[in-house]
Chains A and B, each alone.
Chain A
Amino acid sequence: MTQGLRRPADRWRRLLLVPSLTFTTLFFIAPLTLLVALSFGTVDLLSYRTYLGWHPSNYLRALDPLYLQSILRSLAMSLSSTLACLIIGFPVALTLSRLSGKRQRVLLAAVIVPLWTGFVVRTYAVVEMLADHGPLADVLGVLGLAPDGLSLLHTPAAVVIGMVYAYLPLMVLPLFVALERIDPSQLLAASDLGAGPWSRLRRVEIPLAAPGILAGCLLVSIPMLGEYVVPTVLGGGKTLMYGNVIAYQFQEVGDYPLGSALAVMMTTLVTVGLVVGRQVSARAGRTS
């Protein structure tokens, strides 16, 4: 008798797998398989008929400078937004982790609540802030920094600002959890041994929070790479990111095979990012 059949209830429990197995196969594995299959197919752009085949040509076309440039730009924008989230989020998480009781709960809630105001609304809020004659332009104008109004909207900078704004709470959470778990006695020990606040930060808190830093970076950079809403709204169609390029192939051009190849490449990139992240975290876990 195996462990799994210890109780009679376990026999019918196997049936529990049926709904989600069916659902996942039909609506997750099948669509992905279709994307992979079609990425090797061809399309007749006159009749919009797609043909399955075994042509690597779509991948060669996807590496055309036109698309490659936008992929690389997306990577650069996701990485810089992630870095900005980390630099802004770390002091916030540090402050939160050093509070206690009700104050900590309230401020933590204050960081989380924006996540529940809706992604599209938050992106729109950034549009309004950055508008040519919006509040930010007014403030900068008064300070004499931007006398001719702001022309930030529909630039890569606007997209980066929008992504940092949207994803910052997601970065703060894992950082907070990691910093909160540090034993206060370790900080005291560092202080007693003569470490100032900065040296304590550099030599105790940052190394001990490394898993949280990595988790936060993965948590924000992966959805950023596939981000569709922020560049659509704040990029104004000019600054296209990877997600928009894929959507464009499907919605406007009708070149499904090329779109599929680009989507498969995006999935591969995300997977590689996750695997590398896991390796790094495993190595960090071994050394610390």
Chain B
Amino acid sequence: MKARRRPRIASVFTGIVLAALYVPIGLVVVNSFNADERLASWGGATLRWWGETMSDSRVLDDLRLSLVVAVATTVLSVTLALADALWWRSASPRARRLLDGVVFARIVLPEIVLALGLFLGAEQFDIPLGTATIVIGQAVFCSAYATVLIQARLSTMGNGLEDAAADLGAPPGRVLRGVTLPVLAPSVLAAALMVLTFSLDDVVVAQFLGGTEAETLPVLLLGKIRLTVSPEVNAIGTALMLVTALPIIGLLVSGKLPVPGRRSQKAERSPR
């Protein structure tokens, strides 16, 4: 039984905070249907802005590019992370620590520093900026997050199943395909969905490594909101919100959303 006497003030405060989290987002959605052009007050409902957004070729092009970049970043990041995690398992403790350190560094390095470093590199070696450079830049930190997720699963699975398969005469390739990868599948899926979200949400790398040609939807939105508050921007924002939420909706539907707390903490603790 949990402590029954929970302080009232904290509960009320929590309600207020949750409302404060959702009111601004809700306002963006509502205002995308607002007929008042200056958004000073509610001017009646209209689908005009959505119509304009959906027929704006720049928005559609950027949306397509965002999706292409997200898929490419996900494939690249998950491949790198999977190889890393499988290697990590058979590595010596010292090599493991080194890999852990590099993964950690890729996560904590300020994104702006990474983006500008890559920008300099591209400039120095005359590599044209564009879709490929965005994908590479995003994969640097996305693959690190993916590695952490897949590693967490690997460190809890033990060697028993694979040893059994090997003892029964399965060649290494068969063990990998038949035992290791199926066990890892949920964590690979979770990692892929997380990378998709991060990529769709990314603006710093996309802004500095996209050059003049490649523009993703968040970069377009960032450019627009610097200039003006308008119902059309709200419609683009709502569309972006839906796109960014797609992976998490998929995660919720598949029931794979890990709830941080006592249980999952224990399960994810590595045996070191």
Contacts and interface: CB of A to CB of B under 8 A. Distances in A.
A128 B41 CA distance: 12
Given A92-B13, A168-B17, A180-B261, A263 B116 contact: yes
Interface centre among B23, B136, B204 (most CB of A within 10 A): B204
A105 B259 contact: yes
Q: How large is the interface on A (under 10, 10 to 19, 20 to 34, 35 or more residues)?
A: 35 or more
A129 B233 CA distance: 14
Given A19-B79, A32-B117, A117 B166 contact: no
Nearest to B122: A31
B241 A228 contact: no
Contacts of B40: 133
Interface in A173-208: 173, 176-177, 180-181, 184, 187-188, 191, 197
A122 B203 CA distance: 13
Q: How large is the interface on B (under 10, 10 to 19, 20 to 34, 35 or more residues)?
A: 35 or more
Given A124-B225, A228-B204, A256 B120 contact: yes
Contact of B226 (A27, A34, A168, A232): A232
B110 A266 contact: yes
Interface stretch (A2-10, A61-69, A140-148, A279-287): A2-10
Contact of B124 (A10, A34, A98, A119): A34
Interface in A122-181: 122-129, 131, 133, 135, 165, 168-169, 173, 176-177, 180-181
Given A13-B86, A16-B86, A114-B21, A135 B27 contact: yes
Contacts of B75: none
A88 interface: yes
A24 B221 contact: no
B3 A263 contact: no
A100 B2 contact: yes
B185 interface: no
Contacts of B232: none
B262 A181 contact: yes
25 contacts: A7-B166, A9-B166, A12-B172, A17-B87, A19-B83, A24-B106, A27-B121, A27-B140, A30-B121, A31-B118, A32-B109, A113-B248, A121-B244, A123-B225, A128-B234, A168-B17, A177-B265, A180-B262, A184-B1, A226-B113, A260-B116, A263-B113, A266-B110, A267-B109, A267-B113
Given A119-B203, A126-B24, 16 more contacts: A9-B175, A18-B83, A31-B121, A32-B109, A34-B120, A98-B2, A109-B257, A113-B248, A116-B197, A117-B25, A118-B240, A124-B221, A127-B225, A128-B234, A226-B110, A247-B116
Interface of A: 3-4, 7-10, 12-14, 16-20, 23-24, 27-28, 30-32, 34-35, 38, 88, 91-92, 94-96, 98-100, 105, 107-111, 113-114, 116-129, 131, 133, 135, 165, 168-169, 173, 176-177, 180-181, 184, 187-188, 191, 197, 222-223, 225-226, 228-229, 232-233, 243, 246-247, 250, 256, 259-260, 263, 266-267, 270, 274
